[in-house]
């Protein structure tokens, strides 16, 4: 009996290893079903990168950590700006932690949203210069597409959504997650500069 168990141990170890590798895709598959069942597509689009209304965020390709934290903050009331209270909270309040993780894995598995249009040839977009000089790049990465852990990818994001979130963070209306780290930086930019940065980010491919 013990010899049989001993022979089976390597097989069991391999099975466990392959199971761990396939855990992410399995979660993503469950997340896809949950995304559909909870009606997320009604606002964020079937592909999570073509919102049906201006001002709703593109979610495809966002990090698991960021999506998970935002859903949990909306559930707890830590985030309550924009559409989060009236629209999002009733939808996510009954999600278990495993459901939140599955949805986050699914959204992360999707390809990055394409840009609406390329920036005009010639001189760099003034918003790009501001994005670099106002230190946005330090946390959100090159072109807003390679953020530090916990920060959102904002390159290619909806312009109206960027404007709304940025102004809410600056005013202290949104104070969850990394918003507190952003507030001191937001006082370095005026509304016109915020508009230029948002316009630039919305054109990133």
Tens of pLDDT, residues 50-94: 888 888 899 999 999 999 999 999 999 999 888 887 889 899 999
- 61 within 8 A of 107, measured Cβ to Cβ: yes
Could you tell me the fold of the domain covering 10-109? Cytochrome Bc1 Complex; Chain D, domain 2 (1.10.760)
- pTM confidence score: 0.63
pLDDT confidence bin for 2, thresholds 50/70/90: very low
- Contacts with 98 (C-beta within 8 Å, 6 or more apart), sequence order: none
- Asked whether residue 18 carries a pLDDT value surpassing 70, the answer given is no
CA distances from 154 to 6, 57, 187 (A): 52, 9, 19
- For residues 158-187, average pLDDT: 90
> What is d(CA 161, CA 182) in angstroms, rounded to the nearest whole number?
16
pLDDT number for residue 24: 59
- Mean residue pLDDT of the chain comes to 81
Residue 193, burial from CB neighbour count under 10 angstroms (0-12, 13-18, 19+): middle
> What is d(CA 135, CA 119) in angstroms, rounded to the nearest whole number?
21
Question: Could you report the per-residue pLDDT of 24-37, keeping only the tens digit for each?
Answer: 566 777 999 999 99
pLDDT number for residue 20: 38
pLDDT number for residue 184: 86
pLDDT number for residue 112: 55
pLDDT number for residue 54: 85
pLDDT number for residue 3: 43
- Asked whether residue 156 carries a pLDDT value surpassing 60, the answer given is yes
For the chain, how long is the longest CA-to-CA vector? 76
Per DSSP, the three-state class of 117 is coil
For the chain, domain boundaries: 10-109, 126-202
Q: Which range has the worst mean pLDDT, 11-15, 66-70, 122-126, 159-163?
A: 11-15
pLDDT number for residue 14: 32
Indicate the class that CATH gives domain 126-202.
Answer: mainly alpha
């Amino acid at each position: 009996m013990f010899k049989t168990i001993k022979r089976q141990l390597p097989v069991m170890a391999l099975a466990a290893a392959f199971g761990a590798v396939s855990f992410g895709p399995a979660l993503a598959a469950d997340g896809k079903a949950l995304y559909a069942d909870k009606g997320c597509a009604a606002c964020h689009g079937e592909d999570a990168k073509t919102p049906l209304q201006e001002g709703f965020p593109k979610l495809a390709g966002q990090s698991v950590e960021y999506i998970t934290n935002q859903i949990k903050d909306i559930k707890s009331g830590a985030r309550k700006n924009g559409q989060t209270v009236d629209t999002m909270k009733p939808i996510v309040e009954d999600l278990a932690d495993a459901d939140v993780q599955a949805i986050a894995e699914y959204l992360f598995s999707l390809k990055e949203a394409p840009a609406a249009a390329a920036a005009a040839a010639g001189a760099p977009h003034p918003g790009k210069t501001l994005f670099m000089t106002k230190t946005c790049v330090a946390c959100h990465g090159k072109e807003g597409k390679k953020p530090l852990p916990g920060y959102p990818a904002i390159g290619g994001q909806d312009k109206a959504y960027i404007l709304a979130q940025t102004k809410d963070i600056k005013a202290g209306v949104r104070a969850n997650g990394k918003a507190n780290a952003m507030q001191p930086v937001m006082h370095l930019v005026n509304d016109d500069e915020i508009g230029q940065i948002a316009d630039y980010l919305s054109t990133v491919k």
